[in-house]
Amino acid sequence: MNFTAGHIWLIIALLGIGTFLIRFSFLGLIGNRKMPPWVLRHLRYTPVALIPGLVAPLVLWPTATGGQPDASRLAAAAVTIIVGWYTKNIIAAVLAGAATLAFAFWIT
Amino acid sequence: MSSSTTKSVFWKGAREGAPFIVVAAPFAMLFGLVATEAGLNVAEVMGFSVLVIAGAAQFAALHLMQENAPTIVVLATALAVNLRMAMYSASLTPHLGEAGLWQRALVAYFNVDQSYAMAMIEYEKNPKRPVADKVTYFLGVVAPVAATWYAFTLAGALLGSRIPGDIGLDFALPITFLALVGPMLKTLPHVLAAGTSVAVALLFASLPYGSGLLLAGFAAMAVGAEAERRLS
């Protein structure tokens, strides 16, 4: 790459500041001011609106297989969701998913 | 609030955040390695992981720098990848808005996918906890993740050796995200929101800079909120 050291540090600094400002945005500006009920109702669904969408393409089109759907990874994903939903236990879900993937890699 | 309770809340968070070490370690190591091979020195590599502390955005920036993209493109792309965190920030505000400015700034710096999702699950389970406990729990969850992120970035930058090939390690990150989804599916509106999120994200997966995910987020929040309004 053709970047000077000063240029690289400029990018790092601006990216650091920008990322912080994105993360601070609402927490910093709104603070303890009350938000209207309809906004709060939407915000209650933020985690479940973003995390599934973040992970879905990674499950269906894994980078490691060049974007081809892969039975082992799909099985591991299904087991992780089901165990997590049934037990509400995150660690149990991770372990069950990892074990499924290990088993699927071993039999294929 | 006595210091012993603060300590126990912090350790509860740290215990519950500890499993993410398994994901953060290889991801951080890979960043250290790839960034070093791209020509960054150790200080610059660590600058990224300490000042930016956002894996996907760091990889995006690095990739564009390798292609000698204009600075403004590098910044715009990497920041767009992080825009979902504005939504995280908004949804943490009802829980943490009363905390002092410095505490909110600290939480903002450490607001990564894992700490955000774990903390929200805990806050919704125990909404009446004092705000100080909520901040402490958040910092507890992120402590092992952040420490791993810094340490393994450094290890990757210094060792420069190859990470073993296809042992399914790439799938550690998806599995932890999926494990976080299970406990979020509490009611029918939550399930509908999750389904919408998946459908819209897949439909618009080819849109640049993670904008498909932002669309999915807005659509799924609307579906969840509307379903809640109609069912209650």
Q: Could you read off the pLDDT of B166-214 as tens digits, one per residue?
A: 556 678 778 888 988 988 898 999 999 999 999 999 999 888 767 888 8
Judge whether A103 lies within some domain.
yes
Cross-chain residue pair B38–A44, CB shorter than 8 Å = no
| Tens of pLDDT, residues B71-100 | 988 898 888 888 889 999 999 999 999 999
Cβ atoms of A108 and B166 closer than 8 Å: no
Written as one letter, the residue type at A67 is: G
Judge whether A27 lies within some domain.
no
How many domains does chain A divide into? 1
Q: How far is A68 from chain B (nearest CA, A)?
A: 14
Would you call B207 helix, strand, or coil by DSSP? coil
Q: In terms of residue numbers, what domain contains A97?
A: 34-107
What is the pTM for the complete model shown? 0.83
Q: Quick one: how far is CA B167 from the chain centroid?
A: 24
Cα–Cα distance for residue pair B108/B123, rounded to 1 Å: 16
Judge whether A8 lies within some domain.
no
Cross-chain residue pair A11–B213, CB shorter than 8 Å = no
Query: Scanning the structure block, which residue is given the tokens 């990848």?
Result: B81
Cross-chain residue pair B182–A44, CB shorter than 8 Å = no
Query: Scanning the structure block, which residue is given the tokens 């990874």?
Result: A73
pLDDT of the residue at B3: 55
Q: How far is A5 from chain B (nearest CA, A)?
A: 8
Reading phi first (left if > 0) and then psi (alpha if -120 to 50, else beta), residue B141 is in alpha
CB atoms closer than 10 angstroms to residue B33: 22
